[in-house]
């Protein structure tokens, strides 16, 4: 048994700590969930959905406490008000579509037989959630899993240690049984053993590529399904007919919000050569207007990164790029402490030989490259081992759709970035992982099909 410690990026102090469960205790929790699933799965979809919606509202009632708690755990400025809007939007959408999505698929009913396909819950869904959007990423799976009749064990990231605990308290307060939704504190070895021992029926993991590989290794040979969303190196492309000011505002917000710590944050930008100089000038001015500081200060627009070691990775990428010939446009901010508080940066003169344009940064840095046409832009966007989203800025919807068909990602945005529409499937390709979150496909992924051929008796 070990202790998990959340180190606050505000001042490096220990904000929270919790003891991990032993494998025996974790297996007992899984057994309780499996027992609870029988009664939970027997309830109607509407009843389960209403309880989940009540749980979401109970979380909303805690929001005044949650917002500063998030700032202390992972550094997001309080001025942005937390995640409840997106948390609620996602949960409500999945509740709204559940009955229709999970209805039997009627194949035929004649004098000979009745035939249909029914969607059944997997059983126990194990959710491993990340720290960067700890509420919204968790609800992506927790809500549809519970509504579909599964029980859930939630293991949250150490950096946002208190999120799962608070969510469980809210859900239990409205009548969701404790065995149906459990928050657990686990170390890596116990997590591996939980999956490898087939104590769970479905795994949903959001995090790093290495973490996703560890989940798949744990499940190897068990046939337990593993869904993964492993981040990206998301690109923006500013076409020659783009609204320049809108493109600058949308893409730079996508690159810098949450200190760049967004799964679908913009990490590289390609601009048509006719707009390149003007775009760079405006982008640099946009970033210089940010105020780096304590996230508890309402005037702060960009807070510290969640941990000093994350900032170190980004600084190393920037330093290596500058050493290889790139230009850094933002002078060191007075609030930059060399640790978690990091100056946001815009780079030009970058190439795809540089790590900052190849590997996930997950921080407040973006490289900008001029391109001569759409073909060059598509080639560069696809020159990545990741494939989560791409953001296209143009007045021509048909042109964007044609380009989108050629770009290797799970989502194409036009004239916006860094948004998750719960009616659309959240998915990726290549090293971003595989899986289907939210939308009707997300509900279907959290259930298994069962076919019925009911031959009728004949006289």
Whether the CB-CB separation of 266 and 236 falls below 8 Å is answered with yes
Whether the predicted pLDDT of 1 surpasses 90: no
Domain 234-414, CATH homologous superfamily name and number:
Aldehyde Dehydrogenase; Chain A, domain 2 (3.40.309.10)
Residue whose C-alpha is closest to residue 230's, from 124, 314, 132: 132
The pLDDT value recorded for residue 146 is 98
139-172 pLDDT per residue, tens: 999 999 999 999 999 999 999 999 999 999 999 9
Whether the predicted pLDDT of 107 surpasses 80: yes
279 in helix, strand or coil? Answer: helix
CA 46, 36, 156, 303 torsion-angle sign: positive
Residue whose C-alpha is closest to residue 196's, from 222, 226, 214: 222
- Residue 24 annotated as catalytic: no
Domain 3-230+433-455, CATH homologous superfamily name and number:
Aldehyde Dehydrogenase; Chain A, domain 1 (3.40.605.10)
Say which of 69, 83, 229, 267 is annotated catalytic.
Answer: 229
Whether the CB-CB separation of 287 and 330 falls below 8 Å is answered with yes
Percent of the chain with pLDDT over 90: 99
pLDDT band, residue 228 (cuts 50/70/90): very high
Mean pLDDT of the chain: 97
pLDDT band, residue 426 (cuts 50/70/90): very high
Q: How many CA atoms lie within 13 A of 229 on its CB side?
A: 27
pLDDT band, residue 418 (cuts 50/70/90): confident
- Domain boundaries along the sequence of the chain: 3-230+433-455, 234-414
> What does the alpha-carbon distance between residue 403 and residue 392 come to, in Å, rounded to a whole number?
9
Q: Is the pTM value of this prediction over 0.85?
A: yes
Mean pLDDT across 352-366: 98
Say which of 6, 262, 263, 264 is annotated catalytic.
Answer: 263
Whether the CB-CB separation of 380 and 371 falls below 8 Å is answered with yes
pLDDT band, residue 458 (cuts 50/70/90): confident
pLDDT band, residue 432 (cuts 50/70/90): very high
The pLDDT value recorded for residue 322 is 98
The pLDDT value recorded for residue 231 is 85
> What does the alpha-carbon distance between residue 240 and residue 400 come to, in Å, rounded to a whole number?
12
290 in helix, strand or coil? Answer: coil
Same fold? 3-230+433-455, 234-414: no
The pLDDT value recorded for residue 308 is 97
146 in helix, strand or coil? Answer: helix
CA 132, 411, 283, 384 torsion-angle sign: positive
Q: 162 to each of 23, 25, 72, 73, 95, how far by Cα in Å?
A: 21, 20, 11, 9, 25
Across 353-410, the runs of DSSP E, i.e. the strands, are: 365-371, 386-387, 389-393
> What does the alpha-carbon distance between residue 65 and residue 57 come to, in Å, rounded to a whole number?
14
> What does the alpha-carbon distance between residue 304 and residue 300 come to, in Å, rounded to a whole number?
10
Tokens representing 256 are 């810098």
Mean pLDDT across 74-103: 98
The pLDDT value recorded for residue 459 is 62
- Residue 263 annotated as catalytic: yes
Whether the CB-CB separation of 179 and 151 falls below 8 Å is answered with yes
Residue whose C-alpha is closest to residue 233's, from 129, 395, 354: 354
State the SS3 of 163-212: HHHHHHHHHHHCCCCCCCEEEECCCHHHHHHHHHCCCCCEEEEECCHHHH
Burial 57-86 (b: 16+ CB within 10 A, else e): ebbbebeeebbebbbbbbbbbbbbebbbeb
Whether the predicted pLDDT of 195 surpasses 80: yes
Mean pLDDT across 286-293: 98
Whether the CB-CB separation of 413 and 65 falls below 8 Å is answered with no
């Amino acid at each position: 048994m070990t202790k998990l410690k959340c180190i606050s990026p505000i001042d490096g102090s220990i904000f929270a700590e919790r003891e991990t469960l032993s494998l025996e205790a974790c297996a007992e929790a899984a057994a309780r969930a499996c027992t609870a699933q029988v009664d939970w799965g027997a309830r109607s979809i509407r009843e389960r959905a209403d309880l989940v919606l009540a749980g979401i509202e109970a979380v909303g009632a805690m929001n005044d406490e949650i917002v500063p708690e998030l700032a202390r755990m992972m550094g997001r400025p309080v001025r942005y008000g937390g995640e409840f809007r997106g948390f609620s939007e996602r949960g409500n959408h999945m509740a709204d579509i559940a009955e229709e999505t999970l209805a039997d698929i009627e194949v035929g009913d004649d004098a000979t037989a009745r035939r249909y396909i029914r969607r059944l819950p997997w059983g126990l869904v194990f959710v491993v959630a990340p720290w960067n959007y700890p509420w919204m990423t968790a609800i992506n799976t927790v809500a549809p899993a519970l509504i579909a009749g599964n029980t859930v064990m939630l293991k949250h990231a150490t950096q946002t240690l208190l999120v799962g605990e608070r969510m469980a308290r809210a859900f239990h307060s409205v009548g969701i049984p404790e065995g149906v939704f459990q928050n657990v504190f686990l170390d890596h070895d116990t997590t591996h053993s939980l999956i490898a021992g087939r104590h769970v029926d479905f795994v949903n993991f959001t995090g790093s590529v290495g973490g996703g590989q560890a989940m798949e290794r744990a499940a190897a040979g068990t046939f337990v399904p593993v869904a993964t969303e492993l981040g990206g190196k998301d690109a923006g492309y500013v076409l020659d007919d783009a609204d320049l000011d809108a493109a600058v505002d949308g893409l730079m917000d996508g690159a810098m919000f949450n200190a760049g710590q967004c799964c679908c944050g913009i990490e590289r930008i390609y601009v048509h050569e006719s707009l390149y100089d003007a775009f760079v000038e405006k982008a640099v001015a946009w970033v210089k207007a940010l105020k780096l500081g304590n996230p508890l200060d309402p005037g702060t627009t960009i807070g510290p990164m969640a941990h000093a070691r994350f900032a170190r990775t980004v600084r190393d990428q920037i330093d290596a790029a500058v050493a290889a010939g790139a230009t850094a446009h933002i002078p060191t901010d007075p609030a930059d402490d060399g640790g978690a508080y990091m100056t946001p940066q815009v780079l030009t003169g970058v190439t795809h030989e540089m790590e900052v344009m190849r590997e996930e940064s997950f921080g407040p840095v973006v490289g900008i490259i001029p391109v001569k046409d759409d073909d060059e832009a598509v080639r560069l966007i696809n020159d990545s081992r990741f494939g989560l989203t791409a953001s296209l800025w143009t007045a021509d919807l048909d042109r964007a759709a044609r380009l989108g068909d050629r770009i290797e990602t799970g989502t194409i945005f036009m004239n916006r970035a860094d948004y998750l529409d719960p009616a659309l499937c959240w998915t990726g390709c290549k090293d971003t992982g595989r899986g289907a979150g939210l939308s009707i496909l997300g509900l279907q992924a959290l259930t298994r099909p069962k076919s019925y051929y009911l031959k009728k008796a004949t006289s």
